[in-house]
Amino acid sequence: MSDVTARSRARVPRRLVHLYAGLALYGASSALLVRAGLGLEPWGVLHQGLAGRTGLSIGVVSIVVGAVVLLLWIPIRQRPGLGTVSNVFAVGIAMDGTLALVPDVHGLAAQIPVLAAGIGLNGVATGLYISARFGPGPRDGLMTGLHRLTGRSLRLVRTAIEVAVVATGFLLGGSLGAGTVLYALSIGPLAQLFLRVFALPGPDDGLPDGAGPPRGAILPR
């Protein structure tokens, strides 16, 4: 066995820790945004709106939406990785678990710190999840697939998807507010910071790679 192969196999457990810690923290961070009550991230707005309409928990809705989005990969010929499939289930489970443990907060003195914690934790989760390189989340794969299929820029495709998701979620009763705007402005710089913090050796070191982060590492959903 070559030294490169041995190093590659030795690093897989660390990548798995990054993957599942990142997914769990992402679900927890999304739950904190719900508890803050000041506005959710774009897909969270949709999930909350659907949860209100269906009576399902927001975590279960997240799982269902993720599965539906993953099915949309078939006609656009995207290939899921371990991280893709894990994302569908792990985030929603972690979200519902956190919501069961964290009570509602009231008043800006409590809401603002919870919102800040949710956004900050989301940045940490993004850095962990993407650094594992086990494949993009279902929603990101949809974006990159449509980019490849249409020839439009990633920025344009992502913006169109996010606007459609937010608008639909808001019409269904999802929470759109100052927290949504703050999240949109903060998550990019936070993701970039924590991707550097949690960076792992890449494919050039012989590490098996599921799929690199396709979207400039903004959201792992």
CB 45 within 8 A of CB 180: yes
Query: Residue 158: is it exposed, middle or buried by C-beta count within 10 angstroms (0-12/13-18/19+)?
Result: buried
Name the one residue in this structure whose structure tokens are 């507010």. Answer: 177
pLDDT in the model for residue 8: 56
Give the three-state DSSP class for 149.
helix
Confidence (pTM): 0.85
For the segment 25-81, what is each residue's pLDDT rounded down to a tens digit?
999 999 999 999 999 999 999 999 999 999 999 999 999 999 999 999 888 888 889
Angle ∠(68,155,120) on CA atoms, nearest 5:
75
pLDDT over 90 (residue 216): no
Question: In one letter, which amino acid is 38?
Answer: L
* pLDDT value of residue 9: 60
**pLDDT tens track for 128-187:** 988 898 988 898 888 888 888 888 887 788 889 889 999 999 999 999 999 999 998 888
Separation between Cα atoms, residue 140 and residue 137, nearest integer Å = 5
pLDDT value of residue 191: 86
